[in-house]
Amino acid sequence: MFFQRAKLKKEFDQQFVRLIRETKEDWQQAQLIEEYLNDYDLETLAKRKIAESIHFYLYKEAKIRNVVLK
């Protein structure tokens, strides 16, 4: 039973790391879009801040769960 639990934790940790990487890419893409805009767009700014907050929330959760980001 212990081995099943360890296997499940490892599988969910891999999914969690993948999710963190995807949110980081989304955040970086939102930053690039914001840089290339000539005018001040509130919607783009909001999307970037949402992506940033999601990424940092997941990063904090990874620290709590002791997930190793490779």
Provide the residue-wise pLDDT of the chain in tens; the chain has 70 residues: 667 888 888 899 999 999 999 999 999 999 999 998 888 888 999 999 999 999 999 999 999 999 987 7
Residue with tokens 């969690």: 16
CA distance 69 to 19: 11
Do residues 34 and 45 touch, judged by C-beta distance below 8 A?
A: yes
Residue with tokens 């914001």: 34
Q: Is the pTM of this model over 0.75?
A: yes
* Assigned token pair, 20: 């963190």
CA angle 31, 32, 36 (to 5 degrees): 120
CA distance 26 to 40: 20
